[in-house]
Amino acid sequence: MTRISRKVCIIGDFAVGKTSTVTRFVNNVFSEKYLTTVGVKIDTKDLELVDGRSLRMVIWDIAGSDRFSSAEFAYMRGAQGYLLVVDGTRKETLASALALRAAVEERYGALPFVLLLNKYDLVDEWSVSDAEIEALNKQGVLVLCTSAMTGKCVEKAFRDLAKSLTGVSAA
C-alpha cells in the first residue's frame, strides 16, 4: 500500500498557541497550562484522502520566536508546508509571523502554508481587524480564525494544508 508522509511545520511567535493547536488536532484535548516548547516537538497524525490513500502528517512544532535562529531554520529544512500561527489577541504576533514567513521563503522558497489567527474564542480581546485579514486574503494567503481551546477550524487548517501538499482533499 502506498504510504505518503509529509513534513509540516508549525511556526509563530511564542505563546500564540502552536502546541495547543497541534495537541487539539492530534489528541483533541486542550490545556490552559502554558508549557513553552523548547527546540522542537514532533507529532504525527494520519488523514484519509478522498482518493483512498492515507497521509501521515509529521508535524514539527517549533519553539516560538519572532525571529528564527539557525536551529529553527534547520528544523524548517525540508518542510513541505507550514502553519503560521498568530495570537489574535496580540497584534504584534501577526507582524512576527509575517517576518518568519518572509525568512522561510527567502531560505527555502515559497511553500504552501495556512495562516491561523488563534484564540478566536477570546473575542473581547481580539485585535486583528477584518481589513487586515482582507489584505492578507488579497495576497493569496489562506487565513483561518481558529481556537485551540474550542477546536474551531483547527482540523480545517490541517486539512487545507494537506490538500495543498498532496493536491488531493482529505476525506
Partner 1 sequence: MSELEKLREILFAKEKQTLENIRERTETPSTRTRDVAEVLPGAIGLSHRKDPQLVKALREPVRESFEYAVDKNPRAFADALFPVIGPAIRKSIAESMKALVQSMNNTMEYSLSPKGFKWRIEASRAGIPLGEYILRKTLVYRIEQVYLINRERGLMVGHVQNESAVAQDADAVSAMFTAIQDFVSDSFSPDHRQLLETADIGEFTVWVLHGPYSMMACVIRGEPPRGVRDELAEILERINLQYGEALEDFTGDSDSVEGVEDLLGECLLLEQLASGEDSKKSAISPPLLIVLLLVGAALAWWAYSSFQERQRLQAFRQAVADTPGLVATELASDGRVINMRGLADPLADDLEQVMQRAGVGEVAVAADMAPFQSLDAEIILRRARQGLKPPAGVEFSMRGDTLVASGRAGAEWREQFLSRAPLIAGVASADASATFVRDEELLRQARMALQPPAGVVLGVEDQILSIAGTAPQRWIDAVPEGLESVDSFADIDDSALVPSELAALDRIVSQLDGRTFYFASGASLLDSRNTALQSAAIQLQEGFALAELIGRTLDVQIMGFADGVGSLESNREVMRLRAEALKRGFVAAGIEADRISTAIAALPDNPVVDESMRKAELRLELRPAVPTP
Ligand X SMILES: Nc1nc2c(ncn2[C@@H]2O[C@H](COP(=O)(O)OP(=O)(O)OP(=O)(O)O)[C@@H](O)[C@H]2O)c(=O)[nH]1
99 membership: H or E segment, kind and range: helix 92-108
Residue 64 in contact with ligand X, rule: CB under 6 A: yes
Q: Which residues pair with 114 in a beta bridge?
A: 83, 142
Smaller CB distance to partner 1: residue 75 or 120? 75
| Lookup: cell for 63 | 519553539
Q: Which among 29-37, 42-50, 98-106, 150-158 is the span making contact with partner 1, rule CB under 8 A?
A: 42-50
E-only strand ranges, the chain: 3-12, 40-48, 54-62, 81-87, 113-118, 142-145
Residue 126 binds which of partner 1, ligand X, Mg ion, none (CB < 5-8 A, kind-dependent): none
CB of 18 to Mg ion, least distance (A): 5
Residue 146 in contact with Mg ion, rule: CB under 5 A: no
Binding mask 103-142 for partner 1 (x = CB under 8 A): ----------------------------------------
> What angle (nearest 5°) sits at the alpha carbon of residue 87, between those of residues 84 and 92?
95
Burial class from Cβ neighbours inside 10 Å (0-12, 13-18, 19+) for residue 8 reads buried
Give contact residues for partner 1 (rule: CB under 8 A). 2-7, 39-40, 42-44, 56, 58, 60, 70-71, 74-75, 77-80
